[in-house]
Structure 1
Amino acid sequence: MPKPHTRSLALLSVSHACVDVYQGAVAALIPFFVAERAYSYAAASGIVLAASLLSSVVQPLFGALTDRWPLPWLLPVSTLAGGTGVALAGVSGSYAVTLVVVAVSGVGAAAYHPEAARVARRASRGSHTAMGWFSLGGNLGFATAPLLVAAVVATGGLRASPLLVVPALAGTALCVAALRTAGARPPAPKGGPGEQAGRDDWASFARLSGAIVCRSIVFVGLSTFLALYVRERTSGGEVSGTVALFVLYAGGAVGTVAGGRLATRFGRLPVVRWSYALTALAVAGVVLVPGPLLYGCVALTSAGLYVPFSLHITLGQDYLPRRVGTAGGVTLGLTVSIGGIASPLIGALADVTSLQVALAPLIALPAVGWFLLRPLREPAVPESVAGPEAEEGGQGVALESARSRTFRA
């Protein structure tokens, strides 16, 4: 059986970090927009919406395009676009201009993820752990964003934001190197676009997507307001908020890799279900627990949100084996970025009540996701990408079936 292409995955993982640092940077910039430009919560969250809304719409379109034609050039071009948009966010004092350049950054992320997920899927050869490493890169980018933004903007103000383009320049070079290492993409099998092993299970994919939407709203809502909320709850100033946001993102470094390893042993769906259950309890702690213990709840929330992250991608691709670009566009794009649409609603509620009241509804969403996931069955891994660990994953399928009553109780 073929083994994962380690070098290609390493390059893709680091380039993934260079792209997703800008998705995390948008949320990390919010406290600075509030402080320097006196934006309301609703206005500040509108910036997150600008990054998410257009991305949500166009990302599935990019996925559908990559199902039909190879578009490797999208990787370096989209990386550069994502970084340029955020780098220009602090240059103009105009709210409208800020919205536009942040939207450009969101389109860059939208263009990157479907093709990157396809290339990573082929390089991983069906390995859950290998896809976990690819996802880890993106999560590390998110985790680094608050530190990067704090280092640049806290020192030089919003007008220093052009310095934030540096990761995009590095990521562009890494994308080019990754594509050269991976070589030309093999042509699609005869009989139609995409990978033709198996049938597309749209009903299961819809349930999975609904669960990811719930996860996305929780993640984006906390990303947008956690720094401000922790500053209010702990009276610790800007540093306390930055630390909390870093903990939320940094937990992905452990959670994403752990998710791949746990899925190899127990099966993907049991791991995903229990992660959603843990998230519901952890978010309740974030909203309700006072003082320094709040940081522990943030760490548990991070674990619950990130453990299933790479598993969402592989499950989506295996539910739609003929449309892996579309699956990547939805699981990495539409359902993830759609969480930004809820941010202005949370901000508007916070303006008329409090941040604690506005964040309280996030407690219920992971439970809704768990109910959506409960009826799902483990999909088969197509032979075109199956590798040694995929075979072990097959054992996980059998194990999941044997233990279904236990894990679903």
Structure 2
Amino acid sequence: MAVAAKQKKQNIGLNTIYGILFAIGTGHFFNDSIQAVVPAMFPILEKTLSLSYSQIGWIAFVVNMTSSVMQPVFGYYADKRPTPFLLPLGMFMSMIGLIGFGLSPNFYVILCSVFFIGIGSAVFHPEGSRVAYMAAGGKRGLAQSIYQVGGNFGQSLAPVFTALIFYPYGQKGILSFTFVAALGIMLLLYVSKWYQRQIAIGVKTKKKVVSNSKNAINPKIKLAMALLVFIVFARSWYSAGISNFYQFYLIEDYGVSITHAQIFVFIFMIAGVMGTFLGGPLADRFGKRNIILFSLVGAAPLTLILPYVPLFWVIPLFFLIGFIVTSSFSVTVVYAQELMPQKIGMVSGLIVGLAFGMGAIGAVIYGNLADLFSIKFVMIFCSALPLFGLLTFLLPSDKKVRELNEND
């Protein structure tokens, strides 16, 4: 019996549990669909509440920075004391924010409402990444892709929400998303119960790992993490410029309608979903550092010419850029987890949270630059950011990361 129990524990660590991966990926889809409501409302709020670009930037800042700052905090707490039921709690807080957002009469109430949406996302993401890590077995790249693609697909629906819901129904259309939040809470309760059982099964193993690990972190790993953070910073600023402001560039410089502009942004974001999904398996095959390098340096020639091309070239360029840039979205999380495997929750929160947080800072700066200069100036500024991907050459290879952790 003892041998059978030991074998069961070993199988839990080796097998990829697809049912849980798809469940947490769907939960991620619900979470990020709710967060996508915020940028989806920007063209509507600009008209109905007469908001400036700077105010739109501040709304994006609050929702994204709240999520960014708190994700590593919740991740650090979860590393010390895993809390499965934080998952449905985060979704419930997002639901509160949705209700407030749908009923907000002015700019300041909107800021308070999106604060709750940001906190809900911050609570969800580190534990969501941990569940994906636990259910991955030997396929961490694929597992993280399944998890992250749910979120990216949810975010990609922002222009669809604008065109089909918010443009015809206005701000009150947001209230329909409370049903999405309710479904998410029920699904995440199921995932949380599985998560709780895994903690019970693996508690002895966890204690053994913790007791045998050293507190000191290799300086080379710290440097690699700092470089990875900066690379994510460059990618996030580029994505923030496209997702938050490119629709205004299309409207002002190309003369397209609000509804038509959403099609272009949707192409960029749905291509990102495909890139996120394929990036993980490609990283398992060709190496994580190589995919991170390709995702920025490979996209740079296309991003540099994007602000100058005729309208008919925008969609094919958008598709290629969206696919390439986001192919490293899940890969950077797995790379960070393998750099610091003893701090899964914290580094997951740091990398994913940074994507939101750096985008938040970028949104505020872009909004002010657009008011001072023009939307086209912002797009030209964004176009050079993927060149920072050249710093990936300084990251240790996947093999070197394993050696650093073995010698640590």
- For 2:129 and 2:215, the matched residues in 1 are separated by 18
- For 1:219 and 1:282, the matched residues in 2 are separated by 14
- For 1:332 and 1:342, the matched residues in 2 are separated by 16
Query: Tell me, what secondary structure is at the counterpart of 2:395?
Result: coil
Does 2:98 correspond to 1:64? Answer: no
Aligned to 2:3: none
Query: What letter matches 1:297 in structure 2?
Result: L
Query: Tell me, what secondary structure is at the counterpart of 1:308?
Result: helix
Query: Tell me, what secondary structure is at the counterpart of 1:307?
Result: helix
What aligned pairs does 1:11-90 form with structure 2 within 5 A after superposition? 11-90=23-102
What aligned pairs does 1:9-408 form with structure 2 within 5 A after superposition? 9-127=21-139, 128-182=141-195, 183-185=197-199, 186-187=202-203, 188-190=206-208, 192=210, 201-368=221-388, 370-379=389-398
* Pair 1:193–1:237, CA change in 2 (3 A): farther
Residue 380 of structure 1, CA deviation:
5.8
1:132–1:257 contact (8 Å) kept in structure 2: yes
- Structure 1 runs of 4+ aligned residues shifted over 6 Å read 193-198
- For 2:192 and 2:37, the matched residues in 1 are separated by 26
TM-score (norm 2): 0.88
Residue 382 of structure 1, CA deviation:
10
Q: What stretches of structure 2 of length at least 5 have no aligned partner?
A: 1-10, 404-408
Identity of aligned residues (%): 26
Structural RMSD (CA): 2.3
Deviation string for 1:157-183 (max 9, x for gaps)? 113321122221111111112223443
* Pair 1:89–1:194, CA change in 2 (3 A): farther
- For 1:169 and 1:194, the matched residues in 2 are separated by 42
Aligned to 1:390: none
1:194–1:323 contact (8 Å) kept in structure 2: no
Q: What stretches of structure 1 of length at least 5 have no aligned partner?
A: 384-393, 395-409
* Pair 1:225–1:315, CA change in 2 (3 A): same
2:54–2:367 contact (8 Å) kept in structure 1: yes
1:34–1:40 contact (8 Å) kept in structure 2: yes
Query: What letter matches 2:311 in structure 1?
Result: G
* Pair 1:191–1:291, CA change in 2 (3 A): closer
- For 1:195 and 1:72, the matched residues in 2 are separated by 24
**Number of residue-to-residue matches in the alignment:** 383
* Pair 1:69–1:181, CA change in 2 (3 A): closer
The more displaced of 174-183 and 344-353 is 174-183
The more displaced of 165-174 and 42-51 is 165-174
* Pair 1:231–1:163, CA change in 2 (3 A): same
Deviation string for 1:139-193 (max 9, x for gaps)? 1111123223433222221133211222211111111122234433233233638
Query: What letter matches 1:184 in structure 2?
Result: Q
Query: Tell me, what secondary structure is at the counterpart of 1:248?
Result: helix
1:75–1:175 contact (8 Å) kept in structure 2: yes
Computing the radius of gyration from Cα coordinates, the structure with the larger value is 2
1:149–1:164 contact (8 Å) kept in structure 2: no
Query: What letter matches 1:124 in structure 2?
Result: A
